[in-house]
Amino acid sequence: MKRIISKAVCLLCAGALALTAAGCSKSAASSSTSASSETSVYGSASDYDYQNFAYSDGLDENGYWSGIRALDYVTLPEDYASIPLKKADIEPTEEDVQSQIDSLLSQNTTTQQITDRAAADGDTVNIDYVGTVDGVAFTGGTATGYDLTLGSGSFIDGFEDQIIGHNVGDIFDVTVTFPDGYGDSTDAEGNAVVLSNKKAVFSVTLNYISEEILPELTDAWVEENFSSTDGVHTVEDLRAEYQKMLYQNNLNTAVMDYLLANSTFKDLPKEVTDYQVNQCLNYYYTMAQHYGYDLDSFLQAAAGYNSADDLLDAMSDSITEYAREALLYQAVAEAMDIAPTQEQIDTYSAYTETYGANYCTMVALMDAVSEALTTGAQVK
């Protein structure tokens, strides 16, 4: 239930990317699907200093874009302070509320180890494995305590199928053939080990089968988990809390959608679009650095793009939309003379070291603008 609602300007790059173990991962092949081979309207990634991007770049102490008057670029609709909305479009349904509760229960599952039966399709198994090609162990082909969902298709074709039917404690061989184009590995001495089209033998130990247990939604469970942190004591309270949260989220979204659809924009300031591009590229660059890749190689392996330029081309429309949204918040703040309260700024004080004070002030300003717009909205 604890939540931090952040209005980061460039949401398009938010998300988690994970790389599976290189030794067995189906995705380690060198080929990749390109989103586009054309040049983005925002040029090439090489045009930007995204490696040195900082979130407070180009923002002043008021959370405004430095040197930019947003109302010079945005003409707001006349009814921006009292936006007309239909209540039926905002009210969350019972299904929406239940979906949130189901997600909450899923986040609080516990894991039980099953040891008295054979592995079946769909099970999550914990395994150790050591892989060899022509009798030589290779980098990335060994793991201990690895959780693998059988039938997920995470590993090379045939690997998961050969685990099905084995009992906990069994030690057995899994034989697979690496696909054509699979990247080379190395042995313990650093010598190249060719994997493409090679037969590999993995010695696998099945440690246990994991089974997730969903908690039972009861007043006692709600009281135990959320009474002290959120003031929620019963299942009825929990549903009411989600109803309120979803309504507010839907209202915030509807207000911004209305402004985007009914405002008029001149050419966007380059400083704002450059910010969006740099933030997006820096996100993936940081992930690439974490996994030891250069940016293009990471995008090929993890995101399905041939290069950072392809990424920019695919996201150009989103970059434009988020730049417009960023200007809209400031334009409304200018038009209504809105500034965040100290309490709103303090909400993000824990993040100033990571994102900078000016960025956190901008997010607080967005909160203040959202509060003014949703309060003034005419919901009927």
Distance (Å, whole) CA 319 – CA 7: 15
Q: Taking the chain, what is the end-to-end CA distance rounded to the nearest angstrom? A: 29
Length of the chain: 380
**pLDDT number for residue 102:** 95
Write out pLDDT tens, residues 66-121. 999 999 999 999 999 999 999 999 999 999 999 999 999 999 999 899 989 999 99
What domains, with CATH codes, occur in the chain? Answer: 11-76+263-379 (no CATH), 112-213 (3.10.50.40)
Beta strands 192-193 and 199-213, pairing class? unpaired
**pLDDT number for residue 304:** 87
**pLDDT number for residue 19:** 34
**pLDDT number for residue 225:** 92
**pLDDT number for residue 15:** 31
**pLDDT number for residue 39:** 63
**pLDDT number for residue 38:** 52
**pLDDT number for residue 29:** 39
**pLDDT number for residue 379:** 96
Below-50 pLDDT ranges, the chain: 1-37
| CA distances in angstroms from 49 to 45, 108, 145, 277, listed in the order given | 8, 41, 40, 10
**pLDDT number for residue 196:** 93
Are 10 and 276 a contacting pair, CB within 8 Å?
yes
Rg (CA), the chain: 26
Distance (Å, whole) CA 370 – CA 251: 9
